[in-house]
Amino acid sequence: MTLEHTLQHKNMANNLSLSRRRFLQFGIGATTSLSLPSTFANILAEPERKLSLINLHTGESLNTTYWAEGHYQASELAAINRILRDHRTGDIYHIDHDLIDMLNILHYKMKGNQPFQVISGYRSPKTNAKLSQKSSGVAKKSLHMQGKAIDIRLPGRQLSELRKTALNLHIGGVGYYPKSNFIHIDTGRVRHWG
């Protein structure tokens, strides 16, 4: 086989591999969208997505339409980032859009009339390290430090009901802390504890 034929063979193999990869990526994406419960798809297809929060440490509240006209609203996302900041250090961090959407879906499923009460949103590495020294319940590599986790409760709803509804979403981690009266949700792998 000549060098030219060898190179042509490699190019064909690379193209075939790339085509397979693209096919698999498309197939996985299509399967994911098909497996997404229709309720979630309906909620996320709404022309507006709203969120109501109250930070129990700062007393700040927010009632926002963070999705409108087919896009996340930058100013409203900034307001969410601010209210969910590390209240101990004042550090503000980008909150994962999937977490915000999880909250939206959870509020809808709970038929909540009150804002979520926020116990903990973003945590700086410094804050997380201090908390993990005091409590074995604080993960050293917490998703709070990546803006992918939040600890909440919903007034007017039983904590056990909020936990059950979050578990039924099957879209992230759910921790149950009945003694402290909150649940933890995150956008990590599907798992639960407590």
Q: Which of 125, 127, 182 is nearest to 158 (CA)?
A: 182
The range of the structural domain enclosing residue 28 comes to: 3-35
Domain identity same for 102 and 13: no
Q: Which of 90, 86, 92, 79 is nearest to 51 (CA)?
A: 79
Domain identity same for 25 and 76: no
What does the pLDDT look like over 57-100, one tens digit per residue? 999 999 999 999 999 999 999 999 999 999 999 999 999 999 99
Domain identity same for 11 and 102: no
Domain identity same for 48 and 26: no
Q: Structure tokens of 100?
A: 């915000």
d(CA 103, CA 157): 15
Domain identity same for 24 and 50: no
Contact (CB, 8 A) for 89 and 130:
no
Report in angstroms the alpha-carbon separations of 129 from 123, 154, 193. 9, 27, 21
- For the domain that residue 45 is a member of, what is the CATH number? 3.30.1380.10
Domain identity same for 91 and 149: yes
d(CA 186, CA 120): 12
Number of domains in the chain: 2
Instruction: Supply angle C-alpha 20, 21, 22, rounded to 5.
Output: 90
Domain identity same for 69 and 161: yes
Domain identity same for 20 and 103: no
Domain identity same for 149 and 66: yes
Domain identity same for 17 and 77: no
Let me know if 182 is exposed, middle or buried by CB neighbors in 10 A (0-12, 13-18, 19+): buried
Domain identity same for 77 and 155: yes
Domain identity same for 25 and 56: no
What does the pLDDT look like over 100-135, one tens digit per residue? 999 999 999 999 899 999 999 999 999 988 887 777
pTM attached to this predicted model: 0.77
